[in-house]
Structure 1
């Protein structure tokens, strides 16, 4: 198989997923409450074995799942993607104990995961995170007598300011921190069962001073509230009031959490593009049916060159986006070195394409497409956010340019 074709078995699997989404997932999605986690829908994704595939399949399979589900049920697609986004850091960087506690419940659909990166002042600029992870006062207050307490403070690590010590070990237990600050625009918040939280452990160190923590939702000091957004998905803000975490909650290494975030995003960015392609294809198919059957000006809408050319452009852009998504996912699965550039290109092209295709579909349908409950009214609200989350389109262009210039300098 190449990046530009799918095997018959893969095509059959995609068709099966679209059928499952339409017949078993869409009815559950309709029963959900907008702005809240639909646990029945997540549980059904688990019973169908789709959540388990998040951790056993490659990037291309993830893209095929997301596109196929998005075509028939965007709510199911989003529920699946959010489980993957929130739990992938546990799967890829977690300890055996962390994985054993949470991953079986995530794959069964009985535990809701969330990826808590964005903040009110640090959305696209993830390296500007301000959520603080400060040494626990119960340890810090005793740090003046280092020998007696048996504690060590690492103040000499490269890239760390000497006035910002970080507790690294304690003989009577793991290092402890308190998380203080806010996260915002977090999908599945505040209803998730656990969060992958990115916090600053070293002030002034940029991306090098961020640590990823696995934070169960029942930790004291952690509260949240829902946000009323354009799309119907559960999105909220989280408040951290000295929330306790220890070294046992760290995902990966302390001060290396940015690697966890970027490793997760490099996998999921092409699949955001797949989500967008699924929506674009649904809008295109609806437009084909509408323009072929709609009487206008003594014929069918499709007989008007201005209409047929727009439909052709919609199809052209959708297929180009799909091919780039498949190419990026295949590059990820092969372990190619240019994954960040390809992932950024795939997400950028696919999300911008979907916006164009859905908007054009609305225009060709006319006022009926703006009526509440119409497929295109639904897609019109859904299609806007992917151009922002997991790195806005402008950020993707920056990544692409940076990678291009780095490659030129390396020649």
Structure 2
């Protein structure tokens, strides 16, 4: 059983503890799911999470404020039970993050569908030549009477091929680099939008390469002001990067649980594996990494929930440390399992595949270091 003492930390309120308990009960009944068909599994998960009310937390409704601590608790809990369930929940939030934060009343109509599980959302930012550096976005949105014509390609798009709606970023030319981007709400059935290829990765998730061949969108599809796309994208990531750390934390907690069971059952030299001091040292390192990650994740979430306009530094620290620490924790758990650690059907083997992508998406680890450094340099007493 994963440690729950962290719920007594001052970051949380009684409602967060109640949320965690209710979600644990739901997960115990509904997870894990069969990953044999990732598309079908994600559709079922979105429907199930919506029917149970969990997707209401994925985005803020009218008059509501997004609670990042709840987002993090949900992602951590789902990830500990089933990585695909975490993915399904997270993409409903990330995909609609721009609409939740900046959308018009008409655009926010999509939130009713994504928060109920009636529609699947996607976030189309990455391009073949523009991953970590969003300013290099090449997809264009050319002005036409009454709207825009979008042309370009997007790749590694989560929920690509099964999404009902995407938030997409394109160059509208108000300025150079990051200053000339805008965000748009793109229905998946828009003429000219093509799923060029599905992308297979080590931990199966719905991913695709998309092509926009003269897609026409009305002015009403633009989210926020012209040229505000970079600000919108960064504001969304500011919220959701901490939740990536929370998902990593869930993976790490599951790995420690699996390791504890393994070392107490495995017999070596007349005793159990847990009796060996070297093994105890590994367990201590794992527990330490998990608590340190949890502190960073929930500090970032708490800071945002207290009304901070931006938490770029805190979110980057949380995402960087939690994902890197989880990789180390899971690797140690796999090592303690011996040959079984790399066998299909064992939890640690699945966790080993699941964690790797988290160190890349929503800003790779090296990018997080740059974000942290720039914020430190910009602080009073810095040299930037």
Structure 1 position 23, deviation (Å): 1.2
Secondary structure at 1:133 match in 2: strand
Which stretch of structure 1 is more off in the superposition, 239-248 or 3-12? 3-12
Q: Deviations over 1:105-138 (max 9, x none)?
A: 10111101000000011001111100111123xx
Are residues 39 and 334 of structure 1, via their aligned partners in 2, closer, same or farther at CA, if it must alter by over 3 Å?
A: same
Aligned partner of 1:193 in structure 2 is: 164
Coordinate RMSD, CA, aligned:
1.9
Task: After TM superposition, give the deviation of residue 76 of structure 1 in Å.
Answer: 1.1
Q: Distance in 1 between matches of 2:364 and 2:170?
A: 21
Number of aligned positions between the proteins: 371
Structure 1 position 73, deviation (Å)? 1.6
In the alignment, the residues of structure 2 paired with residue 328 and residue 217 of structure 1 have an alpha-carbon distance, to the nearest angstrom, of 33
User: 2:113 aligns to what?
Assistant: 105
Q: CA deviation at 1:185?
A: 0.4
| Misfit runs of 4+, over 4 Å | 1-5
The structural deviation recorded for 1:13 is 2.9
Q: Aligned equivalents of 1:99 and 1:10: distance in 2?
A: 26
CA deviation after TM superposition for structure 1 residue 94, in Å: 1.1
Distance 1:216 1:5, change over 3 A: closer
Task: Report the CA distance between 1:2 and its aligned residue.
Answer: 9.2
- 2:364 aligned to 377, 389, 392, which one? 392
Question: Any residues of structure 2 matched to 1:113-124 within 5 Å, and which?
Answer: 113-124=121-132
Cα distance in 2 between the residues matched to 1:23 and 1:66 = 17
Distance in 2 between residues matched to 1:86 and 1:92, nearest whole Å: 12
TM-superposed deviation, 1:55: 2.4
Within-5 A mapping of 1:166-181: 174=146, 176-181=147-152
Q: Distance in 1 between matches of 2:182 and 2:11?
A: 39
1:284 Cα deviation from its structure 2 partner: 0.3
Mapped pair 1:16 → 2:25 = no
Structure 1 match to 2:283: 311
User: Is 1:334 the equivalent of 2:302?
Assistant: no
Q: Determine the C-alpha separation between the residues in 2 that align with 1:405 and 1:279.
A: 32
* Contact 1:25 1:44 survives alignment (8 Å): no
* TM-score, length-scaled by structure 2: 0.92
In structure 1, list runs of 5 or more residues that go unmatched. Answer: 140-173
CA contact (8 A) 1:51 1:108 kept: yes
- Alpha-carbon distance in 1 for matches of 2:51, 2:227: 37
Pick the aligned partner of 1:375 from 347, 353, 360: 347
Question: Does structure 1 residue 44 correspond to structure 2 residue 53?
Answer: no
Partner residue in 1 for 2:73: 64
Answer whether contact 1:36 1:233 (CA < 8 A) is retained: no
Shift, 1:336, TM fit: 2.7
What residue number does 2:193 align with? 222
Residues 272-281 or 240-249, more deviating: 240-249
Structure 2 CA distance for aligned equivalents of residues 17 and 43 of structure 1: 16
On the 8 A contact 1:3/1:327 being kept in 2, the answer is: no
In the TM superposition, what whole-angstrom CA distance separates every residue of 1:310-340 from its partner, at most 9, and x where no partner exists? 0110000001100110000011111235610
Over 3 Å counting, the alpha-carbon distance change for 1:36 and 1:127 in structure 2 is: farther
1 CA distance for matches of 2:210 and 2:121? 14
| Alpha-carbon offset, residue 22 of structure 1 | 2.8
Aligned position for 1:134:
142
**Structure 2 unaligned spans of 5+:** 1-6, 61-65
Distance in 1, matches of 2:8 and 2:265, equals 37
Q: Which is greater in Rg?
A: 1
Does the 8 Å contact 2:172/2:180 carry over to 1? yes
Residues 1:87 and 2:87 aligned together:
no
Residues 39 and 162, structure 2, Cα contact 8 Å, conserved in 1: no
| Alpha carbons 2:171, 2:181 under 8 Å: kept | yes
CA displacement at 1:246 relative to structure 2 = 2.1
> Residues 7, 293 of structure 1: CA spacing in aligned structure 2 closer, same or farther, 3 A cutoff?
farther
Measure, in 2, the Cα distance between the counterparts of 1:49 and 1:255. 35
